[in-house]
């Protein structure tokens, strides 16, 4: 009797286990089917999205190609008219150029000014050495100048004064010669080579490489203020690739500016400003427009 009961219990348990296994397998089979359907829907959605992305990518690439083609056409156009627009535009004018850092290339500005017919009686470049003079160099400078220049700011202010005074006198004194010989500045001048030694405009470069010792207020602003005090007309210019722009500071000084003078369009803007136009031109947010617009009044023809 006990044997039969155990047999029945085991049999019933086996039946329930079999049912459980069957239900589990059936559920998994149905669940797998649902999962596969969801997976297929997801794959189809991704494939459709991928096709859309591919179309958008092809469209953007075509837009880039069209823009590059248009840019090349504009570059060719500006290149073709550059010499016509610039040639002899500033004939008879004397333009001084001051570079306040030696970290950027501005030598091509002289070529543009010469093409415009302007004379360049003086071109000054401040070397970055002026920001890091040693105590020994400071003593040497003080002995020569009979001054007491304690800080770098005092030394830079002193150089600014010497530069502006040389513009007024049209001469290089022994102090400037010392600064040149010791490579604090580069100073190329040809005052006697101009029909008129008076300087009509001074172009001052802006921008620095992010070096903390090169403060716009320390050099550029003080220099421009000294030039303005002596009634020089000042134009501010800088390249489009400078790390820190000085155009906002120049605007505060109420001088006209060009922020992309490394381009032909920027050089054209510079020539127009030196001719008498005013404003702020270039490609940066501080610019009023890309270039000066010349409006001719038909009644004056």
Measured distance CA(47)–CA(69) in Å, rounded: 33
pLDDT of residue 69: 85
122-126 and 185-189 strand pairing: antiparallel
Measured distance CA(274)–CA(206) in Å, rounded: 17
Half-sphere exposure of 238 (CA within 13 A, CB side): 28
* 48 lies in the same domain as 102: no
pLDDT of residue 196: 41
* 99 lies in the same domain as 81: no
pLDDT of residue 90: 95
Question: What is residue 227's three-state secondary structure?
Answer: helix
* 193 lies in the same domain as 103: yes
Domain tally for the chain? 2
DSSP string for 190-215: -GGGSSS-S--EEEEE--B-S-TT--
Please indicate, yes or no, if residue 300 is contained in any of the structural domains: no
Please indicate, yes or no, if residue 294 is contained in any of the structural domains: no
Half-sphere exposure of 95 (CA within 13 A, CB side): 27
Measured distance CA(89)–CA(150) in Å, rounded: 45
> Domain boundary at 41, 66, 86, which?
86
256-258 and 280-281 strand pairing: parallel
CB proximity list for 190: less than 8 A, separation 6 or greater: 119, 120, 121, 122
Torsion angle of C-alpha atoms 110, 115, 119, 124, degrees rounded to 10: 0
Please indicate, yes or no, if residue 79 is contained in any of the structural domains: yes
Q: Evaluate whether 223 touches 96 at the Cβ level (below 8 Å).
A: no
Could you list the pLDDT tens digit for every one of the 301 residues in the chain?
444 666 666 666 666 566 666 666 555 555 556 556 666 776 677 777 777 878 888 888 888 888 888 878 777 777 778 888 899 999 999 999 999 988 888 989 999 999 999 999 999 999 888 888 888 888 888 888 888 888 878 888 889 999 999 998 888 888 899 899 999 999 998 766 444 458 999 999 988 755 555 566 678 889 999 999 999 999 999 999 998 889 999 999 999 999 999 999 999 999 999 999 999 999 999 999 988 865 444 444 4
pLDDT of residue 292: 87
Q: Evaluate whether 260 touches 293 at the Cβ level (below 8 Å).
A: no
Please indicate, yes or no, if residue 292 is contained in any of the structural domains: no
Reported pTM: 0.73
pLDDT of residue 121: 92
Q: Evaluate whether 167 touches 194 at the Cβ level (below 8 Å).
A: no
Please indicate, yes or no, if residue 291 is contained in any of the structural domains: no
Find the domain containing 113 and state its range. Answer: 89-284
Q: For residue 291, how many other CB atoms are within 10 A of its CB?
A: 19
Positive/negative CA dihedral, 211, 219, 245, 103: negative
Question: Residue 208: which CATH number?
Answer: 3.40.50
Q: Evaluate whether 90 touches 113 at the Cβ level (below 8 Å).
A: yes
Angle between helices 2-86 and 264-275 (to 10 degrees): 40
CA distances from 50 to 36, 43, 55, 59 (A): 21, 10, 9, 14
* 111 lies in the same domain as 224: yes
* 211 lies in the same domain as 93: yes
Question: What is residue 119's three-state secondary structure?
Answer: strand
| Burial environment of residue 21 by CB neighbours within 10 A (0 to 12, 13 to 18, 19 or more) | exposed
* 80 lies in the same domain as 104: no
* 71 lies in the same domain as 93: no
Nearest to residue 219, comparing CAs of 232, 204, 231? 204
* Element containing residue 145 per DSSP (H, E): helix 135-145
* 71 lies in the same domain as 110: no
* Element containing residue 223 per DSSP (H, E): helix 222-229
pLDDT of residue 64: 87
């Amino acid at each position: 009797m006990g044997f039969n009961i155990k047999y029945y219990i085991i049999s019933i348990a086996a039946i329930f286990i079999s049912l459980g296994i069957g239900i589990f397998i059936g559920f998994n089979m149905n669940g797998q089917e649902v999962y596969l359907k969801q997976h297929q829907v997801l794959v189809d959605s991704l494939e459709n999205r991928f096709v859309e992305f591919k179309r958008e990518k092809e469209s953007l690439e075509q837009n880039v190609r069209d823009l590059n083609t248009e840019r090349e056409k504009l570059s060719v156009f500006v290149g073709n008219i550059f010499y016509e627009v610039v040639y002899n535009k500033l004939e008879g004018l004397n333009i001084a150029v001051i570079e306040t850092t030696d970290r950027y290339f501005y030598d091509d500005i002289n070529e543009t000014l010469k093409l415009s017919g302007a004379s360049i009686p003086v071109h000054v470049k401040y070397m970055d050495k002026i920001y890091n003079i040693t105590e020994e160099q400071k003593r040497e400078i003080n002995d020569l100048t009979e001054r007491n220049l304690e800080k770098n700011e005092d030394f830079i202010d002193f150089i600014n004064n010497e530069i502006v005074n040389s513009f007024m006198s049209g001469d290089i004194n022994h102090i400037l010669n010392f600064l040149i010989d010791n490579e604090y500045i580069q100073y190329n001048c040809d005052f006697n080579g101009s029909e008129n030694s008076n300087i009509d405009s001074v172009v001052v470069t802006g921008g620095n490489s992010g070096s903390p010792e090169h403060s716009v207020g320390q050099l550029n602003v003080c220099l421009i203020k000294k030039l303005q005090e002596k009634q020089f007309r000042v134009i501010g210019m800088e390249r489009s690739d400078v790390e820190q722009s000085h155009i906002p500071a120049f605007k505060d000084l109420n001088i006209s500016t060009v922020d992309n003078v490394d381009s032909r369009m920027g050089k054209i803007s510079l020539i127009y400003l030196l001719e008498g136009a005013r404003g702020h031109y270039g490609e940066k947010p501080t610019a009023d427009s890309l270039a000066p617009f010349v409006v001719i009044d038909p009644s004056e023809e």
